[in-house]
């Protein structure tokens, strides 16, 4: 049966971020992907210079109305990432709510792109929109540590702090929270990155239970832009196959992403760092 995703995030001419990171991998996994570009830039904003256009709410509304007029606005998932306009982001919320009314089983996966390493790389006026409007309608969110701290107002210094932050995010709405990267120390040493996840379930008797996941993955001494966009897309894909087992779908998508990245890293880097030998131990790292 066809599974259709509406992906609303950035587009760049040069490089692979946003929809260019998310759409093709999802298509390879059998999903039909309809893409709306929140921005159209020459390249990602990490470059010294970039040019392009930022879509507004009115422009998004026109595109969505065109889809509706043809009665092809039926989706199983909505995936959102980088945006730069508050009115656009508010319109995204309106669209998600309308699509959920049409399909109560629709799952909204939100990567709340705000910043990283203590600084924001989108306009600051997006923050209250994410906190007060976007996160409450999301089913799955994938913030990094900085974004999770910003959304909850709580710093993460220990794993206990991280669990409390994920619970605060659950209380805001999403049943699945994955902190995609953190500064927490790994028990395997400083060559590993710690990610954490939490998923709430409702038992048949109506009570709730929560599954926690800790991932420790090898660091690579290089910069890869767009990996967060790919992560969110693959999390969506494996959630579709394993909707009630966070451990399985985070394991599957992270494993595939790591082995895919290995093939793209120059041989000299692999030989110098020896980090990719640790991929053989990946199955041991999912708790």
Torsion of CA 221, 226, 229, 231, to 10 degrees: -30
Q: How far apart are CA 146 and CA 216, in angstroms?
A: 18
Q: How far apart are CA 3 and CA 75, in angstroms?
A: 8
227-241 vs 19-28: helix crossing angle, rounded to 10:
30
Q: How far apart are CA 219 and CA 191, in angstroms?
A: 5
Q: What is the largest CA-CA distance in the chain?
A: 56
Active site residue 190: no
- CA separation (Å) from 149 to 125, 164, 182, 188, 197? 17, 11, 11, 24, 15
Of the residues 229, 245, 278, 283, which is catalytic?
Answer: 229
Cα–Cα–Cα angle for 198, 36, 123, rounded to 5 degrees: 70
Q: How far apart are CA 283 and CA 287, in angstroms?
A: 9
Determine what percent of the chain falls in helix, strand and coil, rounding each to the nearest 5.
45, 20, 35
Helix (H, G, I), strand (E, B) or coil at 225: coil
Instruction: Give catalytic residues, as residue numbers.
Output: 229
């Amino acid at each position: 049966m066809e599974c259709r995703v509406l992906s609303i995030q950035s587009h760049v001419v040069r490089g692979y971020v946003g929809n260019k990171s998310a759409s093709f991998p999802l298509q390879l996994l059998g999903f039909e992907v309809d893409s709306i570009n929140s921005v159209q830039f020459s390249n990602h904003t990490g470059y010294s210079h970039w040019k392009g256009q930022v879509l507004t709410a009115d422009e998004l509304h026109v595109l969505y109305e065109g889809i509706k007029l043809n009665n092809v606005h039926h989706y199983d998932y909505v995936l959102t990432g980088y945006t730069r306009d508050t009115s656009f982001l508010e319109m995204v919320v309106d669209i998600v709510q309308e699509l959920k009314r049409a399909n109560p089983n629709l799952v909204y996966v939100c990567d709340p792109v705000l910043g990283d390493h203590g600084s924001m790389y989108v306009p600051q006026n997006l923050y209250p929109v994410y906190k007060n409007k976007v996160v409450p309608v999301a089913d799955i969110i994938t913030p990094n540590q900085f974004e999770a701290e910003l959304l909850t107002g709580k710093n993460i210094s220990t794993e206990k702090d991280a669990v409390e932050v994920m619970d605060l995010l659950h209380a805001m709405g999403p049943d699945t929270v994955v902190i995609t990267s953190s500064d927490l120390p790994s028990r395997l040493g400083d060559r590993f990155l710690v990610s954490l996840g939490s998923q709430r379930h409702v038992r048949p008797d109506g009570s709730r239970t929560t599954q926690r996941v800790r991932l420790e993955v090898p660091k690579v001494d290089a910069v890869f832009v767009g990996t967060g966009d790919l992560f969110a897309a693959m999390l969506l894909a494996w959630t579709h196959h394993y909707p009630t087992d966070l451990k399985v779908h985070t394991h599957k998508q992270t494993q595939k992403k790591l082995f895919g990245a290995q093939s793209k890293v120059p041989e000299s880097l692999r030989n110098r760092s020896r980090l990719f030998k640790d991929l053989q131990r990946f199955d041991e790292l999912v708790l």
